[in-house]
Amino acid sequence: MGMSRSFLVTFLGCLVLAVLIQAQDQSGFISIACGAPAGVNFTVPNTGLNYTSDANFINTGVSRTIVPELRDQFLQNVWNLRSFPEGQRNCYKINITRGSKYLIRASFLYGNYDGLNMLPKFDLLLGANRWLTVNINNASVSLDFEIIYVPSLDYVHICMVDTGHGTPFISAIELRTLRIDIYETRFGSLETDFRVDLGSNRGYRYNYDVYDRYWSGADLDTWRPLNFPIDADSLVQNDYKPPAVVMSTAITPANVSAPLVISWKPDDPKDSFYVYLHFTEIQVLAKNQTREFNITLNGNPWTENISPRYHSVNTIYSTSGISGEKINFSFVMTETSTLPPIINAIEIYRVKEFPQPDTYQGDVDAITTIKSVYGVTRDWQGDPCSPKDYLWEGLNCTYPVVDSPRIITLNLSSSGLSGKIDPSILNLTMLEKLDLSNNSLDGEVPDFLSQLQHLKILNLENNNLSGSIPSTLVEKSKEGSLSLSVGQNPHLCESGQCNEKEKEKGEEEDKKNIVTPVVASAGGVVILLLAVAAILRTLKRRNSKASMVEKDQSPISPQYTGQDDSLLQSKKQIYSYSDVLNITNNFNTIVGKGGSGTVYLGYIDDTPVAVKMLSPSSVHGYQQFQAEVKLLMRVHHKNLISLVGYCNEGDNKALIYEYMNNGNLQEHITGKRSKTKFFTWEDRLRIAVDAASGLEYLQNGCKPPIIHRDVKSTNILLNEHFQAKLSDFGLSKIIPTDGSTHVSTVIAGTPGYLDPEYYITNRLTEKSDVYSFGVVLLEIITSKPVITKNQEKTHISQWVSSLVAKGDIKSIVDSRLEGDFDNNSVWKAVEIAAACVSPNPNRRPIISVIVTELKESLAMELARTKYGGPDSRDSVKPVTMNLNTEFSPQAR
Ligand SMILES: *[C@@H]1O[C@H](CO)[C@@H](O)[C@H](O)[C@H]1NC(C)=O
Ligand SMILES: *[C@@H]1O[C@H](CO)[C@@H](O)[C@H](O)[C@H]1NC(C)=O
Ligand SMILES: *[C@@H]1O[C@H](CO)[C@@H](O)[C@H](O)[C@H]1NC(C)=O
Ligand SMILES: *[C@@H]1O[C@H](CO)[C@@H](O)[C@H](O)[C@H]1NC(C)=O
Ligand SMILES: *[C@@H]1O[C@H](CO)[C@@H](O)[C@H](O)[C@H]1NC(C)=O
Ligand SMILES: *[C@@H]1O[C@H](CO)[C@@H](O)[C@H](O)[C@H]1NC(C)=O
Ligand SMILES: *[C@@H]1O[C@H](CO)[C@@H](O)[C@H](O)[C@H]1NC(C)=O
Ligand SMILES: *[C@@H]1O[C@H](CO)[C@@H](O)[C@H](O)[C@H]1NC(C)=O
Ligand SMILES: *[C@@H]1O[C@H](CO)[C@@H](O)[C@H](O)[C@H]1NC(C)=O
């Protein structure tokens, strides 16, 4: 249908307004009419939405109104606007619930408010990142931009930035709380590109739409519109809740025998899209009629045999981003269908990544307190450190590679400060340089300043400070770790409490210590960190929850097993692309190929390494790269693959791991590898214990716990000693510690290993990894494929359960073992595996129990081989079976 970028925007201009049906809950809504008179709330009659003035959310800018002639074309909430003739960056600060999912909409109607008829262009920031450039190209058109965003702080900043192309302004800001488990992405937020009520020629929003999404109509010649009104009460909804009025219309192809095609050309082929297709049958079909169709995406099968149900919403959506030069969805009638395909509504979102983390919350709180305590009049708005170009005046920050920026310099010299030195400064824990000189501060120099561990420069010159200088500060100054300047404080040390000598010393230090070495070295650190940040600027991250550079502030602080954290940290290397070429000898030897890239053999100082080059074409390669670097930088365990270094030069992204000589577990199980080792029962148990220990570390050793999400036998690698290590953390997720016990996410992972519960509910828990591990354990025991390649496509767990029911252990275990194992040991392993693959997650054991039980199973086998020898295998002890009764074929 060849949609253009401005589709949503232009259609919204002619949004036909909903007539009030009944007042609906607006509790998850924040509706701000910018520039409306302070303290005034009003209800827009057409929508029933209640708006509040923006006065509580911003202190700057001026309130203006659009030209009166335009009023009757627009809703009351955009009649006013706030314009920002002063200051480069002006910000709204809106309190929200951290971690909730919001639809955020910003509206801009210029309406020639200033009588100049000059259309401005300016930047819009969301938090620490640029969201987009607002380019007003028609004074009487309202531009509406939407994003689905999960804030990581208790507030969001929405800022207008003057880029020298006219005065920024904003008309309205609307936030709508969405269910957390809809519109899921792996990474990034979703910007609305199109939201179309197909077959309709008008638009809808609240209160037809409970989420107040804007739906625009679209009616093209190549489609035949259908319209069969549905009563809201009789429509069976799903979580996406497309309004009944939107679902009442649909389109089918104008030519009944031709496919229905929806296609568009992205502005940038690298853009990644999430598409939501909403269906319901709106016609009553006769007995001999069927409507069934397949959907192809760019010619490849996407979904099959869709048969929309009468008055019941079905939403089909992509679980990962779609990209390409052209995106083409074709709806093709199946052979048995008598009716052409239909679709009722479509939503297309573009992935927008916000790479720059917000400044560390503790620093933001502290600087905000300092600002209010001293009434600092500087233009301090929005995020203190980011974007870097708009750093607050008087601050300097560090920008760790993937962590939140931290404030390291506070310069409030000559800022008219008065009163005492405030303890809130202490909360700027990374502060290296504090300059409070040339103010009117009084009171004593507080002892607490010595608690700022990183403080290197303290300048208190030319104030009214009194009392003696705390000995702790004097000590630091003597040691040379602090450059202390306290001159021109007439009352300092003159109150009699301090002795003359110390004062002299203080002043001596004063002169002596304001020397450049300390400054230079501090500057050096900053420059170095900035350089690292620059190299890795594109190393994006989702939010500030997961961090890895500063161990002490990080929510993930794994208990390191044996090895020294700092040593390991320093071993992590950043390599250039030319280094990578050298290491791999120009990609000479391929050792593996996966979905996200190719793995090459390389050498660093004669030590073999595995170099995974992420293919730029892999949509998620980039995000998985980021996820993996983040995780492996912090996580170290003998049963987790370790990261030697990485390369991040533009499209050249490489991960360099320790080399695992013996490939992956599956190759050995299936005998695919040329030189496979036949694993004895003991070997198998050792590998199982290793893999379980790696998982146990992720779940119990890491805080917050980590879900691997892709445990499978190809992700268990073996080194030269056949020690097993878990690899491929590209899909891993960190479980938030805020009390919720699951992560709601799109389905990832590998068929056959995927927790059926997760498949149904989209709920991800530690028990999902336990399930996958159970499948691996079954593979280890049986050497059978996870899903048989025959017609029935039997899952390994179904196959095993049928044999367990018969008590037929001999048929379960890999026949090549020829009975060379301790029966009890095998039964124990089968029991564990069976419990792990229980469809009910509550019945699955926790990972620490699995490790203990597997070790016991190993001990039984060792007892046999060590003391009994192969012949004792017939002295079978009675076996206690307490197999889980839930161990039954899965519902699929
Ligand atoms: C306006 O609405 C806000 C919340 O939307 C509420 O906090 C405030 O009290 C209301 N003000 C008046 C004057 O009703
Ligand atoms: C909107 O505001 C009106 C009057 O200010 C009030 O009566 C009504 O309850 C509000 N509606 C909602 C849904 O908050
Ligand atoms: C936002 O939250 C902060 C801290 O809880 C509070 O001080 C402030 O008044 C709130 N602002 C608004 C506009 O409600
Ligand atoms: C601006 O938009 C209005 C309403 O859509 C339209 O009538 C007018 O022609 C447009 N003006 C320009 C300069 O494009
Ligand atoms: C309708 O579509 C069929 C199949 O694509 C094509 O063969 C036929 O020419 C089309 N008819 C018209 C009138 O376009
Ligand atoms: C379906 O049945 C109706 C009569 O009930 C008949 O008129 C129509 O031709 C049939 N359609 C098809 C496709 O067989
Ligand atoms: C639709 O998909 C099914 C299942 O894959 C396939 O058998 C059938 O041939 C497809 N039909 C068309 C018209 O593509
Ligand atoms: C911040 O750091 C930069 C570079 O390190 C330096 O040029 C600048 O003067 C510093 N600004 C302040 C306010 O200290
Ligand atoms: C420092 O931060 C903590 C935690 O946010 C807060 O409780 C405390 O009041 C702050 N201290 C000062 C002096 O502002």
Asked if the model's pLDDT at residue 730 lies above 70, the reply is no
Protein residue closest via CA to atom 1 of ligand 6:
288
Strand partners, 190: 148, 351
Predicted pLDDT at 622: 62
Predicted pLDDT at 457: 95
Contact 544, 403 (CB under 8 A): yes
Of 348, 147, 330, the closest CA to residue 267 belongs to: 348
Mutate to test the pocket of ligand 5, among 252, 255, 261 (most ligand atoms within 8 A of CB): 255
Assigned CATH topology for domain 361-497 = 3.80.10
Predicted pLDDT at 620: 52
Find the 408 Cα to ligand 6 centroid distance in Å.
Answer: 78
How many angstroms separate the CA atoms of 742 and 736, rounded? Answer: 8
CA 331 to chain CA centroid, nearest Å: 32
Asked if the model's pLDDT at residue 490 lies above 80, the reply is yes
Predicted pLDDT at 501: 44
Asked if the model's pLDDT at residue 707 lies above 70, the reply is yes
Res. 225 pLDDT band, cuts 50 70 90: very high
Atom of ligand 3 nearest to the CA of 95: 1
Predicted pLDDT at 617: 58
pLDDT of 655-680, one tens digit each? 888 888 888 898 888 777 666 778 88
Of 554, 519, 851, the closest CA to residue 704 belongs to: 554
Range with the poorest average pLDDT among 26-40, 420-434, 461-475, 736-750: 736-750
List the domain boundaries for the chain: 25-180, 220-352, 361-497, 565-658, 665-885
Predicted pLDDT at 515: 31
Atom of ligand 8 nearest to the CA of 409: 14
Among the bound ligands, name the one nearest to the CA of residue 25: 2
Task: Give the residue numbers of the binding site for ATP.
Answer: 612
CATH 2.60.120.430 fits domain 25-180: yes
Mean pLDDT across the chain: 80
Structure tokens at 754: 């995927």
Res. 552 pLDDT band, cuts 50 70 90: very low
User: Residue 617: CB partners within 8 Å, gap ≥ 6?
Assistant: none
Predicted pLDDT at 199: 92
How many angstroms separate the CA atoms of 463 and 419, rounded? Answer: 10
Res. 10 pLDDT band, cuts 50 70 90: very low
Protein residue closest via CA to atom 8 of ligand 7:
334
Contact 112, 139 (CB under 8 A): yes
Range with the poorest average pLDDT among 349-358, 472-481, 695-704, 823-832: 695-704
pLDDT of 82-138, one tens digit each? 999 999 999 999 999 988 999 999 999 999 999 999 999 999 999 999 999 999 999
- 707 to each of 152, 387, 733, how far by Cα in Å? 20, 32, 5
Query: Does the beta carbon of 369 lie inside 6 Å of ligand 3?
Result: no
CB-neighbour burial class of residue 802 (10 A; exposed 0-12, middle 13-18, buried 19+): middle
Res. 37 pLDDT band, cuts 50 70 90: very high
- Pairing of the two strands 80-83 and 293-297: unpaired
Predicted pLDDT at 790: 76
Name the DSSP class of 664: B
Atom of ligand 8 nearest to the CA of 526: 5
Asked if the model's pLDDT at residue 875 lies above 60, the reply is no
Average pLDDT over residues 438-453: 92
Find the 33 Cα to ligand 7 centroid distance in Å.
Answer: 51
Range with the poorest average pLDDT among 312-321, 450-459, 753-762: 753-762
pLDDT of 599-646, one tens digit each? 899 998 888 899 888 766 554 556 666 767 777 777 788 898 888 888
Range with the poorest average pLDDT among 27-36, 357-366, 448-457, 585-594: 585-594
Ligand 9: residues with CB < 6 A are 365, 369, 423-424, 426-427
Assigned CATH topology for domain 665-885 = Transferase(Phosphotransferase); domain 1 (1.10.510)
Res. 500 pLDDT band, cuts 50 70 90: very low
Order of strands, edge to edge, in the sheet holding 491-492?
418-419, 440-444, 464-467, 491-492
Asked if the model's pLDDT at residue 532 lies above 70, the reply is no
pLDDT of 226-240, one tens digit each? 999 999 999 999 999
Whether this model's pTM surpasses 0.75: no
CATH 3.30.200.20 fits domain 565-658: yes
Predicted pLDDT at 886: 32
List the Cα angle 174/180/181 in 5-degree steps: 130
Predicted pLDDT at 337: 95
How many angstroms separate the CA atoms of 558 and 540, rounded? Answer: 22
Ramachandran class of 812: left when φ > 0, alpha when ψ lies in -120 to 50, beta otherwise: alpha
Of 125, 83, 88, 122, the closest CA to residue 104 belongs to: 125
Query: Does the beta carbon of 43 lie inside 6 Å of ligand 2?
Result: yes
Do 220-352 and 25-180 fall under one CATH topology?
yes
Top-confidence residue, 531 or 669: 669
Asked if the model's pLDDT at residue 814 lies above 80, the reply is yes
Predicted pLDDT at 130: 93
Atom of ligand 3 nearest to the CA of 94: 13
pLDDT of 342-356, one tens digit each? 999 999 999 998 888
Structure tokens at 331: 């709806």
Contact 325, 332 (CB under 8 A): no
Top-confidence residue, 109 or 885: 109
Find the 59 Cα to ligand 8 centroid distance in Å.
Answer: 28
Predicted pLDDT at 333: 96
The CATH number that domain 220-352 falls under is 2.60.120
Among the bound ligands, name the one nearest to the CA of residue 286: 6
Of 437, 404, 277, 254, the closest CA to residue 340 belongs to: 254
Query: Does the beta carbon of 23 lie inside 6 Å of ligand 2?
Result: yes
Range with the poorest average pLDDT among 365-369, 437-441, 636-640, 888-892: 888-892
**Coil vs helix vs strand at 106:** strand
Among the bound ligands, name the one nearest to the CA of residue 332: 7
Find the 303 Cα to ligand 7 centroid distance in Å.
Answer: 9
Catalytic residues: 710
180-184, 241-245, 297-301, 376-380: range with highest mean pLDDT? 241-245
Find the 332 Cα to ligand 7 centroid distance in Å.
Answer: 9
Query: Does the beta carbon of 112 lie inside 6 Å of ligand 2?
Result: no
Of 360, 386, 385, 401, the closest CA to residue 533 belongs to: 401
Top-confidence residue, 547 or 156: 156
- 305 to each of 24, 239, 295, 341, how far by Cα in Å? 36, 22, 8, 11
